[in-house]
Structure 1
Amino acid sequence: MGTGKGPFRRLVKRLTSDVEELDADDLSEHVEAVGARRACDCRSGEQVTVLGRLRSVELSPRDAVATLEAELFDGTEGVTLVWLGRRRIPGIEPGRTIKAQGRIAMRDGRKVLYNPYYELQTTT
């Protein structure tokens, strides 16, 4: 019982944790399994690959410069994905799991990837 990784401890955790916590744990494990970096480990200026679920997608107002912003959550922390010059991208919608690559920047204290390369992931 020293490591906390045994089947009984996992079962107890699943029975006593809330759904959001379990979902975050599952996302975090999946991130590591596909070779992506956890968002909490990414630092400004680094070239990274992150994987997570889109929590929200926002379009810029009509009179502003066209931008599409999506919040990616990987179970540890959020990263804002920003596509400049775009108002819509097919498949970029809340609840969708994607893998994104780019250089981490900071904006208002939050991690951001501008114009990331992305791959839509199939659900398993």
Structure 2
Amino acid sequence: KDHINLPGFAGQHPLCGPNDERFGIRFPCMSDAYSKDLRTLVLDVGSELNCSRFIRTGVYCMVSGPNFETIAEARMLLTLGCDSVGMSMVPEVTVAKHCGLRVLGLTLITNKVSLNYSREEK
């Protein structure tokens, strides 16, 4: 339903540079980047297909990578309200929103982050 663009805070942003007004305004509003209608559609179809237990909504956090987060970073991201973390999607969402497109973000979670220093699994 939302995202946090950590690289964007450090100036790594897909809309940096000259703006071509034909594609969108200079400073697009990102408070509604993800379409509620498309999200509802996915939840409804997931329910119809008996897949609701696999579908979640939440806040995606983009980090620059190319590595997984440390335990301290994972704890910080959890405190910030992040539900999932990845190294992509946000630039594409930002550009799509800039161009006036409706956006839906889907991610596949492939690893569970460790929040405990004594945990042996990596």
Say whether the fold is shared (TM-score over 0.5). no
Higher strand content, 1 or 2:
1
Higher helix content, 1 or 2:
2
Smaller-chain TM-score bracket? under 0.3
Give the TM-score, by structure 1 length: 0.25
Q: Which has the higher contact order (CA 8 A, sep 6+)?
A: 2
Give the TM-score, by structure 2 length: 0.26
